[in-house]
Structure 1
């Protein structure tokens, strides 16, 4: 078990009505080129990119891969090298629970960003170290909801439960009251708080800094996934569309040719605008 007294968070019932993705600002700030300068293949786990199956690159950052890696490592101290904007909350929560249950010391190195669902993973570290210029981002759970009024009501209830679970984890790790952690998440109408290395350490969300030579920037790193790809993946998952149908719908929305939507400007590149248009379009 964790060397710290961290809470185990119960599993939530997965639902096809919710499609999780990093908030647009976090995705825009994410730098995928940041990785660990060196790793010990026998005792290290790397989590780079979106949590879950990355919709653009198909990189596997699921609980299944992490579970297999932990099983291969065995009862040894491990290092988790983390640079992720977040993604699927359910996978992030499952990975947190797996790392929390590891019988030896878990060190989490935040190399660039631990945003959204990835911040929950980071909290499982017995020791959390942050590189210069790295961030931990905490906020209210956000997801694209596809369905009728009953689905949206259920989604609202589930997202509230998820927020409470996340606040419990942050509070336990930082040694603060749950309402303090919830306040971090509630800032800016739920967009949350971005903690740099200094503020994260001061707040109790991290323990120390990484040496500068522990991090490298790779020129060959995969570029950030275009938001269109994220939306296409969500439509294929939650609305049971084919890849061709999803691509066609996104193209129609961007071009303004779909009558139910109306003209769309470049501001529609913002994922929130696109989501609102998708909600009104999917059933038309």
Structure 2
């Protein structure tokens, strides 16, 4: 019994948290020695889910003539539903179901000499007239389901898909044509894709048979790790910024592209936060200085008023006859001395010393030096 050729292989790069899946062969089919289905979606999707657990970016390189619709639909949906970054590549030819699997990627790359072929589903029909008619109706629904992948990629209607791509023809597109239509995001330069020279002359059935017999070089070993960074997980601050543990190898830790972007975004956010904080600090300092200046002006004005009042009080006290006022005398000291002086002056006769007293020109100043209230004059008859 012959062993069926594998139609895909998975190569993991644990250091970069990436994986590459090579779909190089017909999708689905029958092992005519055992009559068992081969190249099924169930095994692919199971291994694809395992890859998703460890890889942040998954590269899917396709060189396939297509194959079974239902197997291919399951593969397309598994890839399309992935939350990881998916990059698909047309490594030679993506025809029929393989073309639709190609459209499951977030980014689609192709070589300059890659070929893309899209057409309707095909099948064998048997049974009576009514049974065949029912199978034809099912084929129409299958085509509509397949067309949704083209609708999503190109942003066109189901009617446009039916007119230009599922029009019961084998629609071949060169890389330039496919890129112009919007199928490709990036064209790979220099390298050459593996494309059989007579591929466009073959019928789909013959194309699948040819690919099934071909031997492709599919990498089966992990890419070499050249990381020479420090010990694993030795960057706690970086881990805190990323919110995730760094990927590691036996030689050290590393960050992938998404983590690099996260760091750049964090640095930009921190720079903006620092700039905002500095602006707020400068404004707060300006407001504080303005408040200090305002308060100092109020204090200076109050001091000026106090000094003027003290000077006026000192002038009044000097005019009243208060002598020997100390240079550092306070307002209270001067007021006390002035009050005492006024009391003394009010005891002396003469209108010049008491407010409201009648003017006496004859005696003015004559007895100023006599204190008639003294006890020695109390016995003098008036």
CA contact (8 A) 1:45 1:66 kept: no
CA contact (8 A) 2:63 2:194 kept: no
Counterpart residue number, 1:173: 153
Counterpart residue number, 2:22: 46
**Alpha-carbon distance in structure 1 between the residues aligned to 2:95 and 2:114:** 10
| Alignment deviations for residues 156-207 of structure 1 (CA, whole Å, 9 cap, x no partner) | 01110011112221011012222222112244xx014112111111111221
CA contact (8 A) 1:50 1:84 kept: yes
Residue of structure 1 aligned with 2:101, choices 112, 118, 121: 121
> Could you state the TM-score of these two structures normalised by the residue count of structure 1?
0.58
Residue of structure 1 aligned with 2:40, choices 52, 58, 62: 62
CA contact (8 A) 1:89 1:117 kept: yes
**Alpha-carbon distance in structure 2 between the residues aligned to 1:160 and 1:119:** 19
Structure 1 residue 85: deviation in Å?
A: 0.9
Counterpart residue number, 1:151: 131
CA contact (8 A) 1:135 1:197 kept: yes
Kindly report which structure 2 residues correspond to 1:214-233, keeping only aligned pairs within 5 A, or say none. 215=193
Counterpart residue number, 2:69: 89
| Secondary structure at 1:83 match in 2 | strand
CA contact (8 A) 1:175 1:204 kept: no
CA contact (8 A) 2:87 2:108 kept: yes
Q: Aligned pair in 2 of structure 1 residues 195, 159: CA closer, same or farther (>3 Å)? A: same
Kindly report which structure 2 residues correspond to 1:131-146, keeping only aligned pairs within 5 A, or say none. 131-146=111-126
Would you say 1:73 and 2:51 are equivalent positions? yes
**Alpha-carbon distance in structure 1 between the residues aligned to 2:205 and 2:155:** 38
**Alpha-carbon distance in structure 1 between the residues aligned to 2:39 and 2:98:** 10
> Could you state the TM-score of these two structures normalised by the residue count of structure 2?
0.44
Unaligned ranges ≥5, structure 2? 1-7, 14-18, 197-202, 210-382
Would you say 1:206 and 2:184 are equivalent positions? yes
Counterpart residue number, 2:355: none
Q: Aligned pair in 2 of structure 1 residues 206, 54: CA closer, same or farther (>3 Å)? A: farther
Structure 1 residue 89: deviation in Å?
A: 0.4
**Alpha-carbon distance in structure 2 between the residues aligned to 1:55 and 1:87:** 14
Of 50-59 and 168-177, deviating more is 50-59
CA contact (8 A) 1:83 1:110 kept: yes
Q: Aligned pair in 2 of structure 1 residues 142, 217: CA closer, same or farther (>3 Å)? A: closer
Counterpart residue number, 2:260: none
CA contact (8 A) 2:93 2:114 kept: yes
Q: Aligned pair in 2 of structure 1 residues 61, 174: CA closer, same or farther (>3 Å)? A: farther
Structure 1 stretches (4+) deviating beyond 6 angstroms?
56-59
**Alpha-carbon distance in structure 1 between the residues aligned to 2:40 and 2:85:** 21
Kindly report which structure 2 residues correspond to 1:226-265, keeping only aligned pairs within 5 A, or say none. none
**Alpha-carbon distance in structure 1 between the residues aligned to 2:187 and 2:47:** 25
- Number of residue equivalences: 187
Q: Aligned pair in 2 of structure 1 residues 93, 225: CA closer, same or farther (>3 Å)? A: closer
| Secondary structure at 2:165 match in 1 | helix
